[in-house]
Amino acid sequence: MSPLSATRSSHLSAIACCFAFTIAIVAFGQAAQAPPPPVAPAPGQSPAPAGTPTFRVAAREVLLDVLVIDKSGQPVTGLKASDFSVAEEGEAQVLRRVSEHHAMDEAAMSQLASAPALPPNTFTNYTPVRNTNASIVLLLDAMDSPVEAQMAMREQLIDFLKHMQPGPPVAIFQLDTEMRLVQGFTSDPKVLLAAAQSKRDMPSLATPTAAPRSYTWDAVYRRTLMENLRGGMQMLGRYLAGYPGRKNLIWFTGRVPMTRTGMGFGYPFHDGMTVTDSEDEAHQLTDVLTVSRIAVYPVDTRGLAVFPGSMSARGGRMNGIPGFANQANMDLVAEQTGGKAYYNTNDFTRVIDDVVRTSSSYYTIAYATTNTKWNGELRRIKVTVDRPDLELRHKEGYIAYSLDKREQNGIEALERRKAEEAEEQESGAQPDSQPPAGAQHDNAAANKAQMGATIHHSKGGFEAAMGLGAIPPTEIVFSARLEPDQNIAKIDKNAAMPQGNFLTPEWQHKPFRNYTVFFSADLHRVRFSRTPDGMRHGAIEFAAVVYTGDSEAVNSILETDTLDLTADRYRELLVSGLQRKKEIAVPAKGNFFLRLGVHDKEGDQVGALEIPVDQINLNLAAAR
């Protein structure tokens, strides 16, 4: 994607408490999506402060989703905590809780509360799923699948959706030259079928590079596919991060580029390390290590094929050494994430049915790990059940990241920033709140308009999330209320551009309208570093980009708020959300889209949403 222009500025505020990088409170058995952020208040309003709880630190806890399948392939229900045993690196662990989850039928789902209606001109990336237990994600990977396999896969998906009954929420994604969201979570088969039959579900058959399609022999082509896959999976993971329960990812693909030596696919769905302020009577601050709740079910789209010299394999035959390696990689990805691999079958409808049937009933196990060495290594987990002839599927382990090291890195970054500020004060230099980064408009030399900093669209990161039509991540949940100016403005060719107006040269002297954006960001998942004086320190970026329908960026802002928070102020913001006011100009004539984003720089958590400008009511301000 083309670079986007944006300005950077820093806003400092002083405040005090202990270290935390947090997400929304996790009621055991389901990692609930962050609560919807408070709607941005009108100017002049202030939220009521929260009470002051007493905190105490508890042990680090692991949450693990476990499927239990009998020898006939049916999920086993009704197990008790006493039936389970858990070992971490061979050492027995003490279970704290075991919770059982079941598929919700249509009657149960109808009793779930819907999201409240938003006020006019208010938008959010919070999307509650009407099933808090398990959901299905269909990923149609056209990136390295034969064209005939892509078409067969799409036809069988449409056939499945035609006969699908209301059940767990389903989302559909397409991966070709990039990851695309075809349909967000819904339990309505008609909505899913319409999406699958639309052009949104037609794969782009463009070759990612000009190189020949030879994964085995062409390193450039292989590297390009891997970059697309890693970036796409990261975007998918950011989207799924805010949704509750177990996510069963059915990945229809012609190749899983991962080897048993650890190279290739990697770990796109990283373990989430969170600090949760539970609301129990003890007001306990629990450091929770949440093992990823995305289980991958790779499905080989090449189907059943036999070549001379083929080797027997479980469930069928494989296509020689390349087929053996690919199926081994599929098995490894499935085992690592708690899913199951499917290959040597042309019946993809049966595969989806099987995943839905077996994965909607599962158990969530919680235990406090006895291993206190946080060395960044993989810790393997083994779960057993005291009953014969049962198959258990769960994530194999987690990476033991060091909280202390991560905290120390944050403190060192804070000390560098303060040293730079002190040096500026000693030298008498004034901080540049709008650093120049980009060319000036040739015909506007007199106005000295700065074009702002450049956003480079690295795959999978915050910058990619700000692209037009990109998958909207939900790691940071926020709302935005928009107030458009009633009057249209136009700048004379010889006049200076208003400060902060970074319309591109083509649009600078055409009529435009200013829009005020009132952000309200939920801070539960924002990471803060703790310093010995008890302060919480973090940095949040607020971004807004205006696009044409052809993905041309015509205006953008990117501003960083540096936060130094006291304990009381931090608790207030957890209740009220972080409120920020930004302004951006949008050309008055034409079809435009406004992309808004919030980025936790230290924790690299992202939230974004996209608003068609023609959906913003221009008459609301006048009505007030």
Residue 40 has pLDDT above 80, yes or no: no
Per DSSP, 176 falls in state S
Rg of the chain over Cα atoms, rounded to whole angstroms, equals 26
Q: How far apart are CA 476 and CA 597, in angstroms?
A: 9
Q: What local confidence, expressed as pLDDT, does residue 562 receive?
A: 92
pLDDT digits (tens, 9 = 90+) for 190-199: 999 998 888 6
pLDDT bin (cut points 50, 70, 90) of residue 563 is very high
pLDDT digits (tens, 9 = 90+) for 223-248: 777 777 878 888 888 888 878 788 99
* Contact criterion met (CB below 8 Å) for 232 and 175: yes
Residue 564 has pLDDT above 70, yes or no: yes
Q: What local confidence, expressed as pLDDT, does residue 214 receive?
A: 54
Of the candidates 152, 147, 107, 113, the one whose C-alpha atom is nearest the C-alpha of residue 130 is: 113
Residue 214 one-letter amino acid: S
Of the candidates 428, 67, 398, 407, the one whose C-alpha atom is nearest the C-alpha of residue 248 is: 67
Q: What local confidence, expressed as pLDDT, does residue 155 receive?
A: 86
Q: How many CA atoms lie within 13 A of 179 on its CB side?
A: 28
The 10 Å CB-count burial string (b at 16+, else e) for 125-136 is bbbbbbbbbbbb
pLDDT bin (cut points 50, 70, 90) of residue 517 is very high
Q: Which residue has the higher pLDDT, 208 or 509?
A: 509
Q: What local confidence, expressed as pLDDT, does residue 242 receive?
A: 77
pLDDT bin (cut points 50, 70, 90) of residue 314 is very low
Concatenate the DSSP letters of all residues of 392-452 into one string.
EEEB-EEE---HHHHHHHHHHHHHHHHHHHHHHHHHTPPP-SS---SPPPGGGGGGT----
pLDDT digits (tens, 9 = 90+) for 64-94: 999 999 999 999 999 999 999 999 999 999 9
Per DSSP, 237 falls in state H
pLDDT digits (tens, 9 = 90+) for 401-446: 776 666 676 677 777 777 777 777 777 654 444 332 222 333 333 3
* Contact criterion met (CB below 8 Å) for 208 and 177: yes
- Mean pLDDT of all residues in 51-75: 75
Q: What local confidence, expressed as pLDDT, does residue 228 receive?
A: 78
| CATH level 3 topology of 127-360 | Rossmann fold (3.40.50)
Per DSSP, 145 falls in state S
Q: How far apart are CA 205 and CA 175, in angstroms?
A: 11
Quickly count: other Cβ atoms within 10 Å of residue 205's Cβ: 10
Which of 276-285, 302-311, 507-516 reaches the highest mean pLDDT?
507-516
Q: What percent of the chain has pLDDT above 90? A: 29
pLDDT digits (tens, 9 = 90+) for 131-177: 668 889 999 888 767 777 778 888 888 888 888 887 788 999 988 77
Q: How far apart are CA 381 and CA 383, in angstroms?
A: 7
Residue 530 has pLDDT above 50, yes or no: yes
CA dihedral sign, ordered 378, 229, 241, 171 = negative
How distant, in Å, are the alpha carbons of 66, 99, 140, 264, 578 from that of 77?
A: 12, 11, 31, 37, 43
Q: What local confidence, expressed as pLDDT, does residue 61 receive?
A: 81
Mean residue pLDDT of the chain comes to 74
Residue 405 one-letter amino acid: K
Q: What is the pTM of this model?
A: 0.75
Q: What local confidence, expressed as pLDDT, does residue 186 receive?
A: 85
**Domain chopping of the chain, boundaries:** 4-27+34-56+443-623, 127-360
The pair of three-digit structure tokens given for residue 341, joined into one six-digit string: 């691999």
Q: How many CA atoms lie within 13 A of 475 on its CB side?
A: 29
- Within 551-604, residue ranges assigned H as helices are 567-576
